[in-house]
Chain A
Amino acid sequence: MNPEERHIFSVLVENRFGVLARVAGLFSGRGFNIDSLNVAETHDRSISQITLVTHGDAQIIEQIYHHLNRLIDVIEVTDLSTGTHVERELVLIKVATDDPQKRTEVLQVAEVFRGRVIDMKPASLVLEITGDEGKLKAAIDIFNTYGILELARTGKIAMLRGSEF
């Protein structure tokens, strides 16, 4: 077996009914992995962008690239992992803060990760943190020690740096 690599694909698609199902169906039908998937309209409303994180050996990654291109509604496929790129993900974390001291600590930790408090209740608060995979993992690990009540993340979005597009 060849070594597995993590790849981020940016897929521009027609903003049409059923396109996401075609992309997702391609992955399930051919046994490719989806680690994270994010879909939203671009500045051109007729086009949506799918950011898809997957992993596999070089041959699988090449197959994924070609099969995505084969879908009729796919306008352009870019393997962002082949160039230098920026990637971000946003996570909402509801942390238990059942006593005032815990709350103070959580707020201090949030500061370290440049998190924003977007809701606060007597026994919990909701933090918003943005970052790459490593940062979010570190944050989640720490908040786990205080007790995470609920967590939601967007999946990654990414783009190539300025001159490479």
Chain B
Amino acid sequence: MELSGAQILVDSLKREGVEYIFGVNGGAAMPIFDALYGETEIKLIPMRHEQGASHAADGYARATGDVGVALATSGPGATNLVTGIATAYMDSIPMVAITGQVFTHYIGSDAFQECDVIGVTRPICKHSYLIKDSDEIADVVAEAFHLAKTGKPGPVVIDIAKDAQLHEALFQYPESVDIRSYKPQVHGDPVQIAKAATLIKEAKRPMLYAGGGVVLANASEKLRQLTLKTQIPITVTLMGLGAFPETHPLAMEMPGMHGSCCANYAFTDADLVIAIGARFDDRVTGDLSKFAPNAKKIHIDIDASCIGKNVPVDVPIVGDAKSVLTELNKQVSIADIDPWRDQIQEWKQKYPFEYEQKADKVMPQYVIEQIYKHYSDAIVVADVGQHQMWAAQYFKFTEPRQWLNSGGLGTMGFSLPAAIGAQLGCPDKTVVNINGDGSYIMTIQELVPAVTMKLPLKIFIINNMYLGMVRQWQELFHGKRYSAVDYHDNPDFALLAQAFGATGLRVEHTEDVVPALQKAKGITDGPVVIDFIVDEEENVFPMVPAGAGLGDVIRGLS
């Protein structure tokens, strides 16, 4: 039977098991939205801005591990998706972004709401397709999902001309996908894995350094086995938090610019660094010439181009983290490194994350500690800025996919829509959104669908009336010239939440923090927003200044 291209698209998405599509309607995508009208198998979630749609699809993917789907019209609809696509690309999140395109015969004519979406998104997606014929749709959808979720995951863009949505074609969904030019390497080279095992056996000061790739590969269990079997201390990056429980004695917590002193000192003194699904990002390494100067490096990564990109590597292993760790775990045993373990414990005890309780101020770190106490099992979706670092430091994550944040691109405005996606993907979990006053207002409009759907989101704003992380840099490096960071003209977020139809609370005193969090727990019929008015000029420490080595970390408290 012949179906319209739009119907073929919807049926193809069903074949891929899509539960939700996050979208904003518009001219060149109307046939697709029409095909979704009254659809029950796939639920269409209308968002208020296309950026929100792409972040929601992303949050859904991060929380569930399944492919998130965003949908927008041509031109401005598509360009509004771009930030979300780039965000997903930088963190390797499986996503399919579908955009309507003007009629084929208008392409290239500067038609109304026309934009070269393939051109615009080329450097920020794993792959992209422009569809001009209805009969290409089923094959392209199958390929796009295959690409999005295999190998190194990432967003794939499908741009569909309006006539291809309208014209009819035969619906035939491919049983399997075979792309001759795309064969990701899953299994690591056994010779290299054996070499890695030997280095691990010989090392006196080894450390594990695990990143978001472990979460993406669903390899947390294997990582835990490796750590427990060898008893080697481990640091997990911002993108990997939860891959290994932060509460475990071997956990050194997050490394890097605002990471723990322990992890940073360990890098500086280690004689072996075992990197797994981590990419030696500049926010982790600091000055490369001073990074782990005495250490040999083993690097396990699905992406060959990531290995040796920033740091020379002694044993490169290209492969899927789960597969490689399964093999490696067979060849390792407990490491004979007691003096090194003692050193790590000493650093851990001497330099924990800590802050000073100022009189009459609500300390942001205290708020995070209390959020952790009350919501330790929740999925935490953070935005970008100081609150993100405090959340990473003071919330002790124990499970993969428990911590969602835009680590690579650092996209402010990510978290509220991402929390919506996460809550829909994980309806039985509590989803806590830790936001900043600057980032919250960037996508505040997505409170509308959250209220409409009665999602029980806990939205906690760490409000210091500043673009805090930038203000911190201005204080330290720009002579306190607070250019364009003063947000004292923020609206009253509690009242604003009420205007949206959510519960809104405002906390200005330390003694009100816990009662407010307890009250929020009881509100389950919709979102609750708590505006925590915190100390305005508190800084994030420890801090490795840009360009410094990890050993030069400023601990903050003297």
Binding site for B on A (CB under 8 A): 13-14, 17-18, 21-22, 25, 29, 59, 62-63, 66-67, 69-70, 72-75
Contacts and interface: CB of A to CB of B under 8 A. Distances in A.
Contacts of A63: 305, 308-309
Given A18-B118, A22-B122, A73-B181, A59 B130 contact: no
18 contacts: A14-B181, A18-B130, A21-B122, A29-B123, A59-B308, A62-B308, A63-B309, A66-B303, A66-B304, A66-B305, A69-B304, A69-B305, A70-B303, A70-B305, A72-B181, A73-B127, A74-B181, A75-B181
Interface in B305-332: 305, 308-309
Contacts of B123: 25, 29
Contacts of A29: 123
Nearest to B312: A59
B119 interface: yes
Contacts of B127: 72-73
Contacts of A14: 181
B37 interface: no
A21 B309 contact: no
B179 interface: yes
Nearest to B182: A72
Given A14-B181, A62-B308, A72 B126 contact: yes
B305 A21 contact: no
Contacts of A70: 303-305
B180 interface: yes
Given A72-B181, A75-B180, 13 more contacts: A13-B181, A17-B130, A22-B122, A29-B123, A63-B305, A63-B308, A63-B309, A67-B305, A69-B304, A70-B303, A70-B305, A72-B126, A74-B181
B147 interface: yes
Contacts of B118: 18
B308 A25 contact: no
Interface in B108-138: 118-119, 122-123, 126-127, 130
Contacts of A62: 308
Q: Which of A59, A62, A67, A72 has the most CB of B within 10 A?
A: A72
Contacts of A59: 308
| Range, interface on chain B | 10 to 19
Contacts of A72: 126-127, 147, 179, 181-182
Nearest to A76: B181
A35 to B, nearest CB: 21
When A and B form their complex, which 10 residue pairs have the shortest distance between CB atoms, in order from nearest? A66-B305, A75-B181, A72-B127, A66-B304, A29-B123, A67-B305, A25-B122, A72-B182, A70-B305, A74-B181
Contacts of A22: 122
Contacts of A69: 304-305
A59 B127 CA distance: 25
A13 B304 CA distance: 19
Contacts of A66: 303-305
A136 B119 CA distance: 36
A69 B147 CA distance: 14
Nearest to B306: A66
Interface string B171-184: 00000000111100
A140 B16 CA distance: 59
B371 to A, nearest CB: 39
A32 to B, nearest CB: 12
Nearest to A75: B181
A40 to B, nearest CB: 18
Contacts of B181: 13-14, 72-75
A62 B309 CA distance: 9
A17 B122 CA distance: 13
A72 B60 CA distance: 25
A71 B182 CA distance: 8
B20 to A, nearest CB: 26
A75 to B, nearest CB: 4
Contacts of B308: 59, 62-63
A22 B127 CA distance: 10
Nearest to A62: B308
A49 to B, nearest CB: 14
Nearest to B181: A75
A140 to B, nearest CB: 35
A69 B183 CA distance: 10
A22 B125 CA distance: 11
A63 B313 CA distance: 14
Nearest to B119: A21
Contacts of A21: 119, 122
Nearest to B307: A66
Contacts of A75: 180-181
Q: Which of A62, A66, A73 has the most CB of B within 10 A?
A: A66
A77 B223 CA distance: 33
B532 to A, nearest CB: 40
A129 to B, nearest CB: 36
Contacts of A73: 127, 181
A139 to B, nearest CB: 38
Nearest to B304: A66
A52 B111 CA distance: 35
Nearest to A18: B118
A64 to B, nearest CB: 9
A17 to B, nearest CB: 7
A74 B304 CA distance: 15
Interface string B442-461: 00000000000000000000
A13 to B, nearest CB: 8
Nearest to A73: B181
A149 B56 CA distance: 60
A21 B121 CA distance: 12
B531 to A, nearest CB: 41
A119 B346 CA distance: 83
Contacts of B122: 21-22, 25
A75 B119 CA distance: 21
A21 B119 CA distance: 8
Q: Which of B122, B123, B303, B305 has the most CB of A within 10 A?
A: B305
A72 B146 CA distance: 12
A45 to B, nearest CB: 15
Interface in B451-504: none
Nearest to B143: A72
A66 B185 CA distance: 13
Contacts of B130: 17-18
A69 B318 CA distance: 13
Contacts of B119: 21
Contacts of B179: 72
Nearest to B124: A29
